[in-house]
Amino acid sequence: MTASLTRSVHTASLMDGEIVEENDLGSMRRITADNLPILKRLSIKRVLLNPGSMRTPHWHANANELTYCVSGTALVSMLDNHSRFTSFIVTAGQMFHADSGSLHHIENIGEDVAEFIIAFRHERPEDFGLGATFGAFSDAVLGNTYDLPAADFARIRRDTADHKLAARIGDPEIPPSAYFSDPQKFDIEAQTPGLNYVSGNARFARDQFWPALKDISMYSLRVAEDGMREPHWHPVTAEMGYVQHGDARMTIMNPDGTLDTWNLTTGDMYFIPRAYPHHIENIGSDEWHFLIFFDQPFPADIGYRASASAYSREVLAAAFNTHIDDLPNFPFTPADPLIVSRVNPVD
């Protein structure tokens, strides 16, 4: 059984991720299975939009999208099946969901940089930009579509390259309805923590509270400097996390018995396949904040504390190949606490 304290196959820095687009308008970086081959059913992107810029209208051909707004104020618009159109405003701590194939855009309408962490329900998401798709068809075809002369489209600069970031001309146009609630929007940081302990708390974006979610979910997890996410595994879901703030140490056990142990800091991401045991421990001097995405709408856990309570001491002694008298005095735990206090020093 070996452990590694170097960079693991499970992790990468999103700050140094693949550049999708980067210019005076903002930037887009991503980690997909092309950069981190262990990814499966999930991938991640970081988008920065400077004031007055936008992520142009687009859709994803093979993946639902779940987006967390880190900072800024943005207008999001969506055109979905059956000509359903909606628009709404998101601010820091709020989220939105976009179904695969739905046309949507994100526009910075504030005075500060808007930052977004976006999870996709595919390890290699595919995009189509609305502007680029206009480049796929002739002037005549487009003219027939809109009942206009073909010459009207000759003046539009277009090709099949997607211009993902663009500048807005003039002031933003914000419909009054954008200030109302919307089923595709969720204010996760306004929720009462579903788990709330002295050593940390977690807020949940899952289908129990947000019916729009079909195959993805997220936990906003904060752990104090003396806290730890107990060793556990997720029976039917993979986990992809992003370090929004802080310093932590993670250990994952692989099926061949090898261990990966490494340190995480702000901007790092990681991926854990289904049912791999793992733990996360705060090693910094203040609270850390993780955005943790799952490939199920309602993730579940099995933790070590409840596991030790599920079996007799005779069974545990046999499992550990030790004398029954040498077993620790495991506390009876009918339900895992998930977040525990670190009563021992970091080893």
The 10s digit of each residue's pLDDT in 123-141 is 999 999 999 999 999 999 9
pLDDT the model gives residue 4 = 43
Domain 11-186: assigned CATH number: 2.60.120.10
pLDDT the model gives residue 345 = 85
DSSP code for 176: G
CA nearest to 270, candidates 39, 102, 15: 39
**339 neighbors 292 (Cβ within 8 angstroms):** no
pLDDT the model gives residue 149 = 96
What is the amino acid identity at position 294?
F
The length of the chain, given as a count of residues? 347
Q: What is the CA radius of gyration of the chain?
A: 23
**168 neighbors 24 (Cβ within 8 angstroms):** no
Q: What residues does CATH 2.60.120.10 cover in the chain?
A: 11-186, 192-341
Q: How far is CA 334 from CA 239, 302, 307, in A?
A: 24, 11, 9
DSSP code for 101: T
- Per-state percent for the chain, helix, strand, coil, to nearest 5: 15, 40, 45
pLDDT the model gives residue 342 = 87
Burial class (CB in 10 A: 0-12, 13-18, 19+), 223: buried
Q: Which CATH number fits domain 192-341: 3.90.79.10, 1.10.1520.10, 2.60.120.10, 2.30.40.10?
A: 2.60.120.10
**Strands 259-265 vs 3-4: parallel, antiparallel or unpaired:** parallel
- DSSP states of 197-222 as a string? ETTEEEEEESTTT-TT-SS-EEEEEE
- Flag residues of the chain having pLDDT under 70: 1-6
**Residue 16 in tokens:** 């140094």
Burial class (CB in 10 A: 0-12, 13-18, 19+), 293: buried
pLDDT tens sequence across 205-246: 999 999 999 999 999 999 999 999 999 999 999 999 999 999
φ, ψ (nearest 5 deg) of residue 308: -70, -25
Largest CA distance in the chain: 89
